[in-house]
């Protein structure tokens, strides 16, 4: 995970250096960049042994598809016990409600029991009701823990990598599957400050790369507010012309499927 980030950072510096070195020979509408991906790391909030890795690296998956399962025998036992506890609490509540109703009728119709006795049965009914609510919450928590041992795809995506093998222990919160949704693929390119006023959010740019069958359209969604790479802080008129700003543009899901993070691209303004 860190090696990929270091590679992308190094790649960014290299592209920026190339751009600064060759900006005088580039067209005023053409800029160098690369494809960037924002990855989704899917983890379980609970730890356990990985019993089922349902996807493999390179798989194209759909939203809601099972990704992996962790061992959940203890969670299943906890659910069963919570269900029994709730059933017992409901049975006790049914008895206390019936007893309270009977004594309330005796008090109202015949007056054969005292107000204190009626209050005692009411208090027992209320205590049993509180116990049912407590056991219901305990069952909900047990079911939540049981469900969290399975994780599903949050969206359509490409499986970029799997980080554990079946049988290995996975600590709570550790990602097991790394996803790359098409919506998270974008072009990142760099423009000199003189060009910056010509680019606006929502603007369409044309992206091409070596071997591509056609140009791909992307929409500018982010413009950096600061220079990404600068010379030493000597803002002479000559050095100001070398400042570059990062721009990001996103593709449609159909076009994103043809692109790969780290791929060098050329971006032309429309």
Mean pLDDT of 36-47: 96
Sheet containing strand 169-170, edge to edge, reads: 150-152, 66-70, 48-53, 169-170
pLDDT at residue 239 tops 60: no
Model's pTM, two decimal places?
0.75
pLDDT at residue 231 tops 60: no
Matching fold, domains 2-39+182-269 and 73-148: no
pLDDT at residue 240 tops 60: no
Residues 6+ apart with CB under 8 A from 132: 86, 89, 90, 93
DSSP letter at 195 equals T
Domain residue limits, the chain: 2-39+182-269, 73-148
CATH 1.10.287 fits 73-148, yes or no: yes
Whether the CB-CB separation of 50 and 72 falls below 8 Å is answered with: no
Please tell me the distance from the alpha carbon of residue 32 to that of residue 10, in angstroms, as a whole number: 15
What pLDDT shows up at residue 38? Answer: 94
> Which CATH architecture fits 2-39+182-269?
Beta Barrel (2.40)
């Amino acid at each position: 995970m860190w090696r990929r980030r270091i590679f992308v950072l190094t790649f960014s510096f290299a592209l920026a250096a190339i751009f600064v070195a060759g900006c005088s020979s580039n067209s005023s509408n053409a800029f160098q960049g690369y494809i960037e991906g924002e990855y989704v790391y899917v983890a379980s909030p609970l730890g356990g042994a990985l019993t089922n890795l349902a996807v493999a690296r390179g798989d194209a998956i759909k939203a809601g598809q099972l990704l992996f399962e962790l061992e959940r025998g203890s969670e299943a036992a906890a659910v069963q016990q919570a269900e029994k506890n709730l059933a017992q609490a409901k049975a006790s509540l049914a008895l206390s409600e019936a007893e309270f109703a009977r004594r309330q009728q005796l008090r109202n119709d015949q007056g054969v029991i005292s107000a204190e006795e009626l209050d005692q049965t009411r208090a027992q009914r209320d205590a049993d009701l509180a116990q049912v609510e407590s056991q219901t919450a305990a069952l909900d928590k047990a079911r939540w823990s049981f469900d969290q041992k399975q994780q599903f795809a949050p969206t359509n995506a490409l499986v970029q990598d799997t980080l554990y093998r079946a049988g290995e222990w996975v600590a709570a919160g550790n990602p097991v599957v790394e996803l790359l949704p098409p919506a998270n693929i974008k072009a990142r390119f760099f423009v000199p400050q003189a060009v910056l006023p010509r680019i606006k959010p929502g603007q369409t740019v044309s992206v091409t790369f070596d071997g591509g069958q056609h140009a791909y359209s992307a929409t500018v969604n982010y413009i950096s507010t600061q220079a990404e790479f600068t010379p030493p802080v000597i803002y002479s008129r000559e050095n100001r012309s070398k400042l570059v700003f990062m721009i990001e543009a996103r593709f449609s899901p159909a076009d994103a499927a043809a692109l790969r993070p780290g791929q060098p691209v050329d971006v032309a303004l429309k």
